[in-house]
Structure 1
Amino acid sequence: MNKSLIPVGTERGVARRESNPFSFLQQEIDRLFEGVTRGFPNFPSFTGTGANMPRMDVSESDKAIEIEAELPGLETKDVQINLADNVLTIRGEKKSEREEKDKDYHLVERSFGSFSRSVQLPQGVKPEDVSAEIAKGVLKVTVKKPAPAQSKQIEIKSAAA
């Protein structure tokens, strides 16, 4: 007896397929990695949930914008801050390695991960008006606000004829 290769739903009609033929495969791969990485809190997330992104607070006063990012375990050499086209970008990378040797076993664990977070700043912010410091795993970036645009009334002179 020959079986049909067309999937049939409960209504005896042809079952609907998703428009992307690889979506089911992607879902299965995501499910597999979620299962494998469960129980490993330092293992990077493959599902795009942003679990490895640092928490960031942005506050604003009359004179400055302050950005605080939680970066536990990172030092000055592990973090980069760039300002381009009024976008402040904080990038970082953490690498760690642990090795244990005993007469019965040899354990080596390595983990690494990187992140990038960006914040849109107001027009006119100058790179020299940005300062940053890191202490106890918290990066604090202070951005001085640009002076408000001043208007000046221009006197109109009559042209001599």
Structure 2
Amino acid sequence: MPVRRGEGAQRPARHQQGWGRHDPRSEFENLWSEVGRFFQQGTAPAGERPWVPLVEEEEAEDAYLVRAELPGIPRENVTVELDANELHITGGLREEHHGKVLSRRTGRFSYRTMVPHDIDDDAVTADLADGVLTVRIPKSAQGKRRTIDVGGTA
């Protein structure tokens, strides 16, 4: 399972708060997604089970960032989709035999995560450079915090 780096003892991302807010509904959606993925992988033949790349998620002031390590995978083999508030990163790499032992991951990969609701889904970008896929999900202007003047009579 994906793990976050730089937070002391590393635990799978599904057990961490994520994005800085507590949202029980999204935690349940993540759990439901994980259970579905578990059963889906359990039914696939051993050689066809997708692997999960190392992924880190970060919240910046104006956007959410998702970085996935995909070394040696060409951009045409990577698909990034945003379905409502679920981000899907999928793709694959064919196995190449150049020696006796293959020491890198090949085959299909898959990563899914829920993103917050305050996003501008039309401005999402994805870039693959130096083996790292960076998905930038801008926050929408509607979700920003602002101060409201209080009116009334004194």
Q: TM-score, normalized by length of structure 2?
A: 0.54
Q: Percent identity?
A: 28
Q: What does residue 61 of structure 1 align with?
A: 60
Deviations 1:24-80 (A, max 9, x none): xxxxxxxxxxxxxxxxxxx9697xxx8x31000000011001110000110111100
Q: What does residue 12 of structure 1 align with?
A: none
Paired residues for 1:4-19 under 5 Å: none
One-letter amino acid matched to 1:61:
A
Q: What does residue 116 of structure 2 align with?
A: 122
Q: Distance in 1 between matches of 2:57 and 2:127?
A: 15
Instruction: Determine which structure has more spread, i.e. the larger CA radius of gyration.
Output: 1
Q: Give 3-state SS (helix, strand or coil) of 2:142's partner.
A: coil
Q: Distance in 2 between matches of 1:90 and 1:136?
A: 17
Q: Distance in 2 between matches of 1:99 and 1:55?
A: 25
One-letter amino acid matched to 1:113:
G
User: Conserved in 2, the CA contact under 8 Å of 1:81 and 1:89?
Assistant: yes
What stretches of structure 1 move > 6 A for 4+ residues in a row? 150-153
Deviations 1:61-107 (A, max 9, x none): 1100111000011011110000111111100111132357xxxxxx8
Does 2:138 align with 1:144? yes
Q: TM-score, normalized by length of structure 1?
A: 0.51
User: Conserved in 2, the CA contact under 8 Å of 1:132 and 1:140?
Assistant: yes
Paired residues for 1:86-125 under 5 Å: 86-98=85-97, 112-125=106-119
Higher relative contact order (CA 8 A, sep 6+): 2
User: Conserved in 1, the CA contact under 8 Å of 2:79 and 2:90?
Assistant: yes
Q: What does residue 84 of structure 1 align with?
A: 83
Alignment gaps of 5+ in structure 2:
1-45, 150-154
Change in Cα spacing, 1:61 to 1:149, as seen in structure 2 (3 Å) is closer
Between Structure 1 and Structure 2, the one with more strand by share is: 1
One-letter amino acid matched to 2:71:
P
For the aligned residue pairs, the C-alpha RMSD in angstroms reads: 3.2
User: Conserved in 1, the CA contact under 8 Å of 2:95 and 2:107?
Assistant: no
Q: Distance in 1 between matches of 2:120 and 2:143?
A: 15
Between Structure 1 and Structure 2, the one with more helix by share is: 2
